[in-house]
Amino acid sequence: MFWTNSKLAGASGVLVLWFAAGLAGCGGEKPAPRKAEPGPAVRATVVRLAEETVPDVYEATGTVRARVSSVLAARVMGYLREVRVQAGDTVQPGQVIAVIEAREIDSGLKQAEAARDEARSALPEVDNAIAAAKAQLELAEATHRRMKSLFDQKSITQQEFDEVEARLRMARANHEMAVAKRAQLEQKIRQAESAVAQAAAMKGYMEITAPFRGIVVERKAEPGMLAAPGMPIAVVEQAGGYRLEAAVEENRIKAVKPGMAVEVLIDALGTSVQGRVEEIVPALDPGSRSFTVKIGLSGGLLRSGMFGRARFPMGERKALLVPASAIVRQGQVEQVFVVENGVAKSRLVTTGAARGERVEALSGLRAGESVVAPVPANLADGSRVEVRP
């Protein structure tokens, strides 16, 4: 019985040791990376890296904005009878965008025109009165001259001469009154014409027109809505005039100058356009510690709101360039194969700007090292490499 228990105890101990070993094998440590199995050498082309002088470019992101944007708004109160444009339409200078219906403005214009016509119609009567008064004045002056000669010769009495002078003064007064009446009438006509012009201007405000050739980027009102002065109807951007407003770090403020030529990459168009620095906003954004640089652009396909990257030339610097075919990408991870003593070693790298068929290596590589380019499909970490001539 004792021997049996000992035998069982020994078997249990073996089981415990086996279970413990199993637990140790299932621990949290990750297995070492698999090395390439010994086999024939992989034939590959090797490129020896060296530092080169490359243009130093600073890249800043920004948004394309229209150089001139106009919000077309109502200037009188009334109901919108028509809105003739949609977002995306191209408009020409003077083209009618919307029409407002305001009957009181039409009525006011008709009243002003009637008052002007009435004032003008009184001109012939006043002119006739002036002509008659002038004739009376000329007759009174001639009579006065004759009577003055007779009075000097003592041929008429003082009473008779006084009556002649009185008639002359009355003729002069009547003529001056007629002339003054015409001046008043002219002033009334000018006031009536001013009222007509003002009423016509108000009537002109009933039609909202485009101020320049451009593109409608937003329609803000619909027919039937009550428009009030200042109410926006549509937003129009001037065609062909766009700028990239880029945020530039404050430590670059001395390097960016007005008139500087800048290459702008427009991702939505998949191309680059040439621009020039037109304006530098002197006030910095305290949150981002950057200032806004406005770069003039040209191009028919540009639209407000597009994302762009401005590339400012900053001189030259040394850089390590790697063939793009040497980069193996797995998601966000980039690696190359460095050949050391005839063996390929995987090396994680960080790349920068692309320069033709090569990219800039920012970290992970040194000048003088040799990398495989292009990378063969069967190349793995630890593979022996036979360098092709």
pLDDT, residue 55, reads 85
C-beta separation of 109 from 199 below 8 A: yes
* pLDDT given for residue 34 in this prediction: 41
Residue 335 has a pLDDT of 93
pLDDT for residue 315: 85
* All residues at 6 or more sequence positions from 329 whose CB lies less than 8 Å from its CB, including other chains: none
Statement: residue 253 has pLDDT above 90:
no
CATH number at residue 76: 2.40.50.100
Q: What proportion of the chain, given as a percentage, has pLDDT over 70?
A: 89
**Nearest Cα to 55, choosing from 312, 254, 366?**
312
Do 218 and 353 lie in a common domain?
no
Note whether residue 197 is domain-resident: yes
Q: Is the predicted pLDDT of residue 61 greater than 60, yes or no?
A: yes
Q: What is the pLDDT of residue 300?
A: 67
pLDDT in tens, 289-328: 999 999 999 766 888 889 999 999 888 889 999 999 999 9
Residue 26 lies in a domain: no
CATH of the domain at 268: 2.40.30.170
> What does the DSSP assignment read for 48-99?
E--EEEEEEEEEEEEEEEESSEEEEE-SS-EEEEEE---TT-EE-TT-EEEE
pLDDT in the model for residue 57 = 85
Specify if 12 maps to a domain.
Answer: no
Average pLDDT value for the chain: 85
Q: Are residues 97 and 215 in the same domain?
A: yes
Domain that holds residue 379: 42-54+318-387
In a domain? residue 24: no
pLDDT at 170: 94
Tally of domains in the chain: 4
Q: Is residue 162 part of a domain?
A: yes
pLDDT at 324: 92
Q: Are residues 98 and 234 in the same domain?
A: yes
pLDDT of residue 351: 92
Same domain, 201 and 127: yes
Confidence of residue 32 (pLDDT cuts 50, 70, 90): very low
